[in-house]
Amino acid sequence: MKAHTKETQATMTPEKALAFLKEGNFRFQRNLKANRNLLEQVNDTSDGQFPFATILSCIDSRVSAELVFDQGLGDIFSVRIAGNFVNEDILGSMEFACKLAGTKLIVVLGHTSCGAIKGACDDAKLGNLTKMLEKITPAVQQTEQPEDTSLRNSKNIDFVNDVAKKNVELTIARIRKESPVLAEMEEQGAIKIVGGMYDINSGAVDFYE
């Protein structure tokens, strides 16, 4: 499989980009990798890059977007931060990726059993981590179940995963609210913004479209 070119990127639509990622995750789950020559892709992308998607995911070592979606060099922009939330810098990076570099899809990818989400659920305090986890606190607060406060912590994995999903939803809402550039592109159909959850047990990504 060749690296994407200006011509192949131009034929990409948001729907086609999402289909590419779904197909890649299908291959990943079955240990079927696309036939790529990565060194050839190094050479092919040396003069430019034409990725088709931008993926915001957690820094978790088990959730590498390139591997999870079976993509090669120059295929995707990968933004990684613990808890997969956005700030001004990440929004700016996404605007560059979509408006200037031509990607057609933004995916906010959470994952099950997320350590950052667990920390936020437990209101953990540790240096700069404290401020970072505060970005996820709204997801904890807005996750309705369970009402029993003794179950609203990292020991309840169902609660943790519900918070992770809510965090994805709130992150997408922030992208649309805080980036007029991306919101306008989505309204015009130039891009699509979707969420997803990676299951660390199965390797499957469940998309929220």
Annotated binding-site residue numbers for Zn(2+): 58, 60, 111, 114
C-alpha of 38 from chain center: 23
Query: What is the rounded CA–CA span in Å between residue 144 and residue 122?
Result: 16
Return the closest-CA partner of residue 172 out of 112, 113, 90, 117.
Answer: 90
Q: Is-contact 18 108, C-beta < 8 A? A: no
How far, CA to CA in Å, does 91 sit from each of 55, 103, 132, 179? 12, 14, 16, 7
Return the closest-CA partner of residue 85 out of 169, 143, 15, 24.
Answer: 169
Residue ranges of the binding site: 58, 60, 111, 114
